[in-house]
Amino acid sequence: MQKKQRVTRREMLRFAAGGAVAVATSGLLLACGGGSRETPVPSGATPASSPVAQGSPAGAGKTTIVVGLQAEPVTLDPHQVTDYNTGRAVDPMFERLVRFKDESTELEPGLAERWDISDDGLTYRFSLRQGVTFHDGTPFDADAVAFSILRQIDPNHPYHDTGEFAYAEFTFGKVQSVKAVDPQTVEIVLKEPYAPFLSNVAIHAASIVSPAAVQKYGRDFSKNPVGTGPFRFVEWKPGVEVILERNPNWWGGQPQVERLIFRPIIEDRARLTEFEAGSIDFIVNIPPDDLPRLKQSPDVTVLEQPGMHVWYVVFNCRREPFNKKEVRQAVNYAINKEAIVNELLKGTGVLAKGPLPPVVWGYTDDVLEYRYDPAKAKELLAQAGYPNGFKVTFWVPESGSGMQQPKAMGAAIQADLRAVGIEAEIQTFEWGTYLDKVLGNPDELPEMFEMSWIGDNGDPDNFLFILLSGDAWPPNGFNMGYYKNEQVDELLRQAQRLNDRAEREQLYQQALKLLVEDAPWAWIDHETQIVAMKKFIQGFKLHPTGVFRFQNVTLASS
């Protein structure tokens, strides 16, 4: 019924580097055996009779949290979000049928109270939560769910032209049909079994938007967002701030925080300065050298969580010399990755042994290990026919969401490669220019370039298939180095079709061993998610997907 939404090349890389915009997955698909599978009914919600709902004050004058973002949000339409930074400002306004539990990517009911999956894994029937309304007062129902999906994937939908939906392919590419069975029931039929589907329904692109608001604003819905979430839109001052206020009618109970303000401050040092001066209350991307000082401050809380992230150097596998496995392996041996993580990044990341972060199920460290070994690197280069090394071009961005310290890391890699005879000429670009160049003509890509990825849903498919399968060469995915291994591809396809998590895990671990042996990237580290906040913010929990959840936060006296 629907044609797949194609992703533009620029959108793809923005997504890839910005991170989808997530450790364990749901198990909801996996834990059930034969027969129709049904989830437990509803998640616990904050009782409407809580002290906050009764109007108790939000601490001694503290009613607002000001968050320092890394950049200006691109849009406020959840279906159009393609970067990590924007998603943080948008997420408090919207909800999905299912959602991730606190501090994990295990699933729980969201706007759907329960769901059933047919024995063949093709039909998903969701029973919706009753009594929910959008921020504009219109009712949430099955038609709104169908509208939110079909708007993105059906080119004949009357409101398909209200946005560019970069995530539609990932989220709903396997969908055959969507229909409202009745006001409280939605049925989604897939073209083929697809194990990650339910986890995908929990990500931002599956947010349920107000059909009335889309019809009213058209493409300007991106500036006038309306969802069902715990916070609702107030104002967007471009380049200055996005203001949200609490939703007094949220089905989960009124949040204590009255206002959330997201303020873009691009420079890490400037953002830290404003935080310490008191003009913002919550920051990310803290310069590693300043982290110990913040941790010792009596006025600051620092939270850390293993990241669902990987930072890597892509090898252009279609070009010499990286069309040879020995060369790719040699570069991995030549880079002193431990020194980068421990000395340059000050331990704000975990050394990567492959493309999959340890916090994502399916991970194994039973793979070939590339310990720093310049002599081994030289030996492999000689075997590959490059005893005297070679020259390559190495693209490096000046900054970028999820890119950590790209210039400093690039310089360290350049020095290590020079030591084994590889002369890597660094070309540095402003982030937007970098995206344009990397997403331009693939024939003009250099031999090496930096990239990062932050997971969306905690499923290994969200790393391995989309980044490294032969089926995910651009524009169908983010395999930017054009790596291909038929055996890996078949393992990843099999894993998509299985619902048994243990079986899937075995397939991913087999694929990981092959991938690490093939070395299509030089993987460096998995960044630790770190935030700092003023002490009056209490109860905040980090989430693996990187979104910020303030609905259960309390504000104490400062």
Helices (H), 469-500: 486-497
Question: What integer pLDDT is reported at residue 418 of this predicted model?
Answer: 98
CA dihedral (399, 400, 402, 403) positive or negative: negative
Question: What integer pLDDT is reported at residue 431 of this predicted model?
Answer: 72
Q: Which helix (H) or strand (E) holds 312?
A: strand 309-315
Judge contact between 463 and 356, C-beta under 8 A: yes
What pairs with residue 246 in β-bridges?
A: 231
pTM confidence score: 0.82
Return all residues near 452 (Cβ < 8 A) that are at least 6 apart. 16, 17, 19, 309, 310, 311, 312, 400, 402, 403, 404, 527
DSSP 341: I
Question: What integer pLDDT is reported at residue 399 of this predicted model?
Answer: 77
Give SS3 for 241: strand
Judge contact between 239 and 47, C-beta under 8 A: no
DSSP 311: E
What are the structure tokens assigned to 392, written together?
């390559």
What are the structure tokens assigned to 11, written together?
């959108």
Query: Cα separation of 17 and 478, whole Å?
Result: 10
Judge contact between 489 and 469, C-beta under 8 A: yes
What are the structure tokens assigned to 512, written together?
């990981």
Return all residues near 144 (Cβ < 8 A) that are at least 6 apart. 134, 138, 208, 209, 210, 211
At 127, give phi and psi (nearest 5°): -100, 120
Degrees, nearest 5: CA angle 112-118-124: 30
pLDDT digits (tens), the chain, 558 positions? 333 334 444 444 444 444 443 322 222 222 222 223 333 333 333 333 333 333 333 345 789 999 998 888 889 999 998 777 889 999 999 999 999 999 989 999 999 999 999 999 999 999 999 999 999 999 999 999 999 999 999 999 999 999 999 888 888 989 999 999 999 999 999 999 999 999 999 999 999 999 999 999 999 999 999 999 999 999 999 989 999 999 999 999 999 999 999 999 888 889 999 999 999 999 988 888 999 999 999 999 999 998 899 999 999 999 999 999 999 999 999 999 999 999 999 999 999 999 999 999 999 999 999 999 999 999 999 999 999 999 999 999 887 778 888 999 999 999 999 999 999 999 999 876 787 788 778 899 999 999 999 888 999 999 999 899 998 888 777 899 999 999 999 999 999 999 899 999 999 999 999 999 999 999 999 999 999 999 999 999 999 988 999 999 999 864
What pairs with residue 67 in β-bridges?
A: 262, 282
Helices (H), 353-439: 374-383, 406-418, 431-438
Sheet containing strand 175-182, edge to edge, reads: 37-38, 112-117, 123-128, 185-190, 175-182
Within 10 angstroms of residue 28's Cβ, the number of other Cβ atoms is: 20
What are the structure tokens assigned to 294, written together?
């913040």
DSSP 170: H
Percentage helix, strand, coil, to 5, in the chain? Answer: 30, 20, 45
Query: Cα separation of 40 and 495, whole Å?
Result: 26
Question: What integer pLDDT is reported at residue 60 of this predicted model?
Answer: 56
Among 270, 241, 246, which residue's Cα sits nearest to residue 258? 246
- CA 193 from centre of chain: 23
Among 512, 518, 515, 487, which residue's Cα sits nearest to residue 326? 518
Burial of 546 (0-12, 13-18, 19+ CB in 10 A): buried
* Distance in angstroms between the alpha carbons of the first and the last residue of the chain: 56
Question: What integer pLDDT is reported at residue 557 of this predicted model?
Answer: 67
DSSP 40: P
